[in-house]
C-alpha cells in the first residue's frame, strides 16, 4: 500500500449524507511530512441518486428485517459500481476504499447504530480492500458513535479554531484545554430541504425562499426549547429524533412555508452562535452543502464574534469524504481514528470493519 519513496497512500472515500443528495466520492492522497499528515484531493465527484434510490433509502427505516438486509447488500453493490465508474473514468489505482455507508438507525442511547452499504459487496465488485462500519465499535464502547470527523479536523485542519459542518445536521469540533471536543448542534439541510420540497423544489438555492419569509417568534422559541439543546456534549442527532421531535413542530405550525424556512434559518444561526461565541476573533472553517446557502451564511456571520472561512468548493463539497478516507487509512494502519473526548467512548480506538480479497 505504501510507496517506499513518497510514503503516500491512495484512498477513495465514499460519503452518503442524511440529506440524500447523492454519493460523494473523493480520491485522496495522504502522506506524513514533519510529523504532520498532509493531503490532496486530485479528483472528486458527486453522483446524484436516481429517484428510485432516494425512495429506497428514505424508506429503509420502516423496512422489515429481511428487506433491510437485502437493501444493505444491494446498496453495497451499487456503491461498488459507482466506485468502479469513478476509478475507471479517472484512471485511478487506489490502495483502499473507505465507505461511510448510509445511516438508517442511530440511537446510541439504546446502544445501536446502523449504516447500510455492505463492505463485502463493495469489495466483491471492486476487488479493492474496503474499510466501513466506522460507528458500531464506538457505540459498543459506550460512545455516541458520532461525530467521527473531528479527528480529521484535528489532524488535517488544525489551523482553524472551529470546524463547522453544515450538512444534513450541523456539527462542530474544536480544541479545549488541548483536548478535541465535538458534537452535533442542530438540523440544517435535512430540515431546510424538508420544507423546500413542500414548495416543489429540492432545496432552497442560496436561501432565497427563506430570505423572503417572515420570522415567527413562537416557532423559533419552540424549536429552541427542545430538550436536546439543554444537554451538554458529547451528543449526536439522527433521523429518528428529527421525525419524533423537530419535524412535528414545523408541521404543527400554521405559518406559510417561507416563514418556516426563515425561522429555521434563524434557529440554525442562533444555535451555532451559542457554541462559537464562547471565543472571539477566531477562525471558523465552514464546509458542507449549507456553506452554499448565502442567506444562512450571512445570518450565521451576523450573530458571530468570529470570522467565517469559506474554502474552495472541493473542500466544501468533499471534506467529509476526504476525512472518512483518512479514517479508513488510520484504521488500516491500526491507528486510533475515534476520540473518547469527542464520543464519550471508554477509550480512544481504531474503528471500522475491513474487507479484503
Model confidence pLDDT, tens digit, residues 257-268:
999 999 999 999
User: How does strand 179-187 pair with strand 96-99?
Assistant: unpaired
Model confidence pLDDT, tens digit, residues 84-106:
999 999 999 999 999 999 999 99
pLDDT for 6 equals: 59
Q: Choose between 250 and 17: higher pLDDT.
A: 250
pLDDT for residue 3 is more than 70: no
150-314, what's its fold?
A: Nucleotidyltransferase; domain 5 (3.30.420)
Q: φ and ψ at 35, to 5 degrees? A: 65, 25
pLDDT for residue 12 is more than 80: yes
CA distances from 268 to 108, 184, 191, 296, 315 (A): 23, 12, 10, 8, 22
pLDDT for 5 equals: 56
What's the whole-number mean pLDDT along residues 50-62? 96
User: In CATH, which of 3.30.420.40, 3.80.30.20, 3.30.360.10, 3.40.109.10 is domain 8-145+319-355?
Assistant: 3.30.420.40
| Domain boundaries for CATH 3.30.420.40 within the chain | 8-145+319-355, 150-314
What's the whole-number mean pLDDT along residues 61-79? 98
pLDDT for 7 equals: 83
Q: Choose between 81 and 21: higher pLDDT.
A: 81
The span from the CA of 173 to the CA of 157, in Å, is 11
Considering only the C-alpha atoms of the chain, give the largest distance between any 2 of them, rounded to a whole number of Å: 64
Model confidence pLDDT, tens digit, residues 210-258:
999 999 999 999 999 999 999 987 888 888 899 999 999 999 999 999 9
- Beta strands, E only, the chain: 8-16, 22-33, 36-48, 96-99, 102-107, 112-116, 130-132, 162-166, 169-176, 179-187, 283-287, 307-309, 353-355
Model confidence pLDDT, tens digit, residues 137-150:
999 999 999 889 99
pLDDT for 4 equals: 47
What's the whole-number mean pLDDT along residues 34-60? 96
pLDDT for 175 equals: 93
Model confidence pLDDT, tens digit, residues 162-212:
999 999 999 999 999 999 999 999 999 999 999 999 999 999 999 999 999
pLDDT for 164 equals: 97
What's the whole-number mean pLDDT along residues 149-163? 96
Model confidence pLDDT, tens digit, residues 293-352:
999 999 999 999 999 999 999 999 999 999 999 999 999 999 999 999 999 999 999 999
pLDDT for residue 25 is more than 50: yes
Q: Which contiguous run of DSSP H or E holds residue 211?
A: helix 208-211
Contact 102, 116 (CB under 8 A): yes
What's the whole-number mean pLDDT along residues 104-123? 96
Contact 324, 98 (CB under 8 A): yes
pLDDT for 144 equals: 92
Amino acid at each position: 500500500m505504501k510507496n517506499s519513496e513518497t510514503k503516500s497512500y491512495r484512498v477513495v472515500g465514499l460519503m452518503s449524507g442524511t440529506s440524500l443528495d447523492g454519493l460523494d466520492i473523493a480520491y485522496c492522497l495522504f502522506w506524513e511530512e514533519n510529523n504532520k499528515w498532509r493531503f490532496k484531493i486530485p479528483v472528486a465527484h458527486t453522483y446524484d441518486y436516481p429517484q428510485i434510490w432516494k425512495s429506497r433509502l428514505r424508506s429503509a427505516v420502516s423496512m422489515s428485517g429481511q428487506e433491510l438486509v437485502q437493501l444493505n447488500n444491494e446498496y453495497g453493490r451499487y456503491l461498488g459500481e459507482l466506485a468502479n465508474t469513478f476509478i475507471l473514468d479517472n484512471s485511478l489505482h487506489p490502495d483502499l476504499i473507505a465507505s461511510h455507508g448510509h445511516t438508517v438507525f442511530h440511537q446510541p442511547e439504546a446502544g445501536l447504530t446502523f449504516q447500510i452499504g455492505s463492505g463485502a459487496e463493495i469489495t466483491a465488485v471492486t476487488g479493492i480492500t474496503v474499510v466501513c462500519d466506522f460507528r458500531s465499535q464506538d457505540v459498543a464502547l459506550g460512545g455516541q458513535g458520532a461525530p467521527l470527523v473531528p479527528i480529521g479536523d484535528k489532524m488535517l485542519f488544525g489551523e482553524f479554531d472551529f470546524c463547522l459542518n453544515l450538512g444534513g445536521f450541523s456539527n462542530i469540533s474544536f480544541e479545549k484545554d488541548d483536548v478535541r471536543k465535538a458534537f452535533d448542534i442542530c438540523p440544517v439541510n435535512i430540515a431546510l430541504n424538508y420544507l423546500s420540497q413542500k414548495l416543489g423544489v429540492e432545496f432552497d438555492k442560496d436561501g432565497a425562499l427563506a430570505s423572503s419569509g417572515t420570522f415567527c417568534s413562537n416557532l423559533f422559541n419552540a424549536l429552541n426549547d427542545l430538550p436536546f439543546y439543554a444537554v451538554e456534549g458529547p451528543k449526536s442527532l439522527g433521523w429518528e429524533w428529527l421525525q419524533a421531535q423537530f419535524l412535528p413542530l414545523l408541521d404543527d405550525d400554521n405559518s406559510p412555508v417561507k416563514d418556516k424556512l426563515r425561522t429555521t434559518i434563524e434557529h440554525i444561526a442562533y444555535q451555532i452562535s451559542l457554541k462559537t461565541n464562547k471565543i472571539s476573533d477566531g477562525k471558523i472553517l465552514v464546509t458542507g452543502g449549507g456553506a452554499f446557502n448565502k442567506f444562512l451564511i450571512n445570518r450565521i456571520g451576523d450573530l458571530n464574534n468570529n470570522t467565517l472561512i469559506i474554502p474552495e468548493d472541493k473542500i466544501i463539497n468533499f471534506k467529509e469524504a476526504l476525512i472518512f478516507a483518512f479514517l479508513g487509512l488510520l484504521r488500516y494502519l491500526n491507528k486510533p481514528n475515534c476520540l473518547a473526548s469527542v464520543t464519550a467512548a471508554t477509550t480512544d480506538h481504531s474503528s471500522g470493519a475491513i474487507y479484503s480479497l
